Amino acid sequence: MSSMDTQRISFLRAHLRRGAALLAMAGFAAGMGSSAAFASGNGADAATSTAAASTQQSPEQFGDIVWNPSDWEKARARQMAATPGPMAMAVARWQTLQKQTQPAFNDIANFITLYPGLPSQDRLQSKAEGRLSDEYVDPARLVSFFERNPPLTTQGQASYALALRAMGRPEATTMARKAWRGGDMSPTSEATLSAMFGGAFTPADHASRMDSLLWEGATDAASRQLRYVTGDKRTLFMARLAALQGSDPAMLGISLPRDAAGDPGWLYNRARQMRSSGNLAGARALITTAPALTHLPDNPFSFVREMRYNAVAAADAGDIGSAVKIALKANEAFAPGTDVSTLSGPIRDEYEKLFHTIGEKAMARGDAANASRMFAIYGASQLTAPARSKGFYFAGTTAAKAGMGNVAKAELEKAAAYPDQFYGQLALEKLGRPLKVPASTLPTPSNDARVNFNARPLVQASREVGRTGDWRTAVAFFKELGRQAETPEEFALIAELARETGRRDLAVIAGREASTKQLYQFSRYAFPRIDVPIGTEKNWAIIHAIARQESQFATDAQSHVGARGLMQLMPGTAREQAGKMMLSYNSSALIDDPQYNIRLGSAYFARMLDVFGGSYPLAIAAYNAGPGNVGKWLRSNGDPRTGAVDWVEWIEDIPFSETRRYVARVLENAAYYDALYPDSGNASGAYPLFYYMGKKPGQ
């Protein structure tokens, strides 16, 4: 028997055992009804029997399907008991390739060819292309791969050009010119391209390559490339290279061409050199007096980042006007009309940091008009619902402070378009509109759409990772499914997949993507229910809100710091709480028994709620960061319970970014659960969020 056969048999046995256990658990829970396990005083028994002692909630109607909360567990048990399919080994291979630092190109190329569309495909391909300078690949194989998957790196383009030439393909020269313009590559590829295609490279090709190298900071390659550039461009590039190497070009006797001030590369290199040498005022003056850029920068990410550094420095020096002007200069990195939210993550993230930070600093300085302008740009540039709603909300509230009523209303309307978000719910109150849950009316996919959906490798792999119990891998695949979905029909198919596999976390993750795309037909799937232990009903909405944020309802979730299960309890906290409840502590039950996890998590939250006098935001913050940290923040930032500081401002001032986001997410979840399921939740009325924040509308 081969090692691969042995691995496959072990894989199958492990999943069959786990599936059988889950089926037994599901059958036990369904057959026993309620139980007095916790009243027996036998903590060990209680830790494994709590699934029976739970509230039974009414079923829901999804189209023609009647669905009970317990049906998720039954579907999950069926999945776990089923025999793993052929994609199981593909998922295992994907995990291996992710961990390898120097995988062979052919290994990744073969994998991507067989299983296109899996998570991190671009990352894997880029990693493989990096090996091409040291690894021989058959030209025909390379050409075949790149025809289906165009190269993502300059090294990949160079290798593609050489492979095309070896195959006698006429497009080799075009690809070689593209690679040459792209910038840095291995010295071997650089020399080979120059020798084989040098006669075809134009002065514009050489200038473009020099520009790219200077943006990348590749000083050695740029020094070699300088001999190919002539005229004013050579002088400009010499000045940029000097700045890149930390020198003032004027001190080296380099006179700039007349139009250098509008060159984005010069502005970037010179501003960076001045800032790095401590001449912040000089860098600020350089940028704020620069004319409009003569062309788009080769590297918009680096340009935007340099503008951010200098804008923040200006704001910290008290010069909000210059900070705003520098921030707006970043817009010249893109063609007019560019939707920044559609750009790559790194560029979008830099842009977000720039405008959000300057918006906050302008607001802190009392410049509400400029703050509103910055927040509006920030909101429009973002991809996710939390970020967009936050940007638009603050654009609206700061516009109101600046006396710009029409602008305020328009921005708040944009925020209110995200009713499942914290800032969307705040915006609804500002506009005097109640929180209303859109109808969950998913379309019925056609048979052809369903066949095509289920034929995709990503969908097949998602079924497998939904079975394996490897939560982190499952999350990666589920997020990719949501990212690739665009239409209500596609999200309806994901809803079917979530229901068939018993994966509430897939429903939650895809639901967040649907929310970002403002497709709210998915709401009831995106906010699933779970039966809670008898005695915890008072915290029904908070249990759901925390579980949705902590684990997305994945009972097998384990964080990198060791938090476990549905409500992500740290073992030490769980042990302490079990002791206070006179229960035996069972570490494995934190994952194997969701009801045990909920019972401990709910009791710990109730304890935090009592510590902080019934304040939900403070208790939520303590659940995430610990009561000691919350006490420190109350002392340093004020106590919003007294009215001395606004609740929203206090939450935004939480120094831990994870906790800051966490408080907003759990509050919005609780309010939305109350709106979705008013018979089960805590709050009533038009603004359930305000119940949890201890506020009244208008405050």
Residue 132 counted as domain residue? yes
Does residue 221 lie in a domain region? no
> Angle, nearest 10°, between helix axes 154-166 and 139-148?
130
What integer pLDDT is reported at residue 699 of this predicted model? Answer: 58
Q: Both 547 and 585 in a single domain?
A: yes
353-375 confidence digits (pLDDT tens): 999 999 999 999 999 999 999 99
pTM of the model: 0.86
Q: What does 567-611 look like in DSSP terms, one character per residue? A: TTB-HHHHHHHHHHTT----TTHHHH-HHHHHHHHHHHHHHHHHH
283 and 426 co-located in one domain: yes
In a domain, 161, yes or no: yes
192: CATH? 1.25.40
Is-catalytic flag, 658? Answer: no
Same domain, 670 and 588: yes
Task: Report, as an integer, the average pLDDT of 211-239.
Answer: 94
| Whether residue 467 sits in one domain with residue 376 | no
Domain membership flag for residue 637? yes
What pLDDT sits at residue 66?
A: 57
pLDDT at 590: 95
Residue 7 pLDDT > 50: no
Q: Is residue 640 part of a domain?
A: yes
Confidence (pLDDT) at 220: 94
Q: Where are the alpha helices (DSSP H) in 101-153?
A: 105-114, 121-129, 139-148
Residues 300 and 337 in one domain: yes
CATH code for the domain of 421: 1.25.40.10
Number of structural domains, the chain? 4
Residue 229 domain-assigned?
A: no
Helix, strand and coil percent figures for the chain, each rounded to 5: 70, 0, 30
Q: Which of 661, 379, 584, 291 is nearest to 669 (CA)?
A: 661
The structure tokens listed for 117 are: 């569309």
Mean pLDDT of all residues in 561-583: 95
**Mean pLDDT to the nearest integer, 494-507:** 92
Which of 430, 449, 465 is the last residue before a domain boundary?
A: 430
Q: Is 533 inside a domain boundary?
A: no
Q: Which of 528, 560, 581 is the last residue of a domain?
A: 528
* DSSP output for 310-370: HHHHHHHTT-HHHHHHHHHHGGGGS-TT--GGGS-HHHHHHHHHHHHHHHHHHHHTT-HHH
Bigger pLDDT: 56 vs 541: 541
Same domain flag for 286 and 392: yes
Phi then psi for residue 63, to 5 deg, are: 65, -120
Q: Across the chain, what does the average pLDDT equal?
A: 89
- What confidence tens digit (pLDDT) does each residue in 308-360 have? 999 999 999 999 999 999 999 999 999 999 999 999 889 999 999 999 999 99
Same domain, 341 and 390: yes
Q: Tell me: do 671 and 549 sit in the same domain.
A: yes
- 147, pLDDT greater than 50: yes
Which of 35-39, 79-83, 559-563 has the highest mean predicted lDDT (pLDDT)?
Answer: 559-563
Instruction: State mean pLDDT over 255-284.
Output: 94
176 lies in some domain: yes
Residues 381 and 472 in one domain: no
Mean pLDDT of 374-380: 97
Kindly state whether residues 511 and 521 are assigned to the same domain. yes
**Residue 687 sits in the same domain as residue 584:** yes
Residue 262: predicted pLDDT: 94
**Average pLDDT for residues 240-244, to the nearest whole number?**
93
Q: 263: which DSSP letter? A: -
Q: Which of 430, 454, 481 is the last residue of a domain?
A: 430
* Host domain of residue 598: 542-693
Summarize the confidence of residues 485-490 as an average pLDDT.
92
119 vs 67 pLDDT, higher one = 119
How far is the CA of 177 from the CAs of 148, 194, 212, 223, 230, in angstroms? 20, 10, 13, 19, 19
Kindly state the average pLDDT of the residues 100-111. 93
Query: How crowded is residue 44: how many other Cβ atoms within 10 Å of its Cβ?
Result: 12
What CATH number is associated with residue 558? 1.10.530.10
Looking at the fold, whether 142 and 79 belong to one and the same domain comes out as no
Q: Choose, from 413, 550, 649, 658, the residue flagged as catalytic.
A: 550
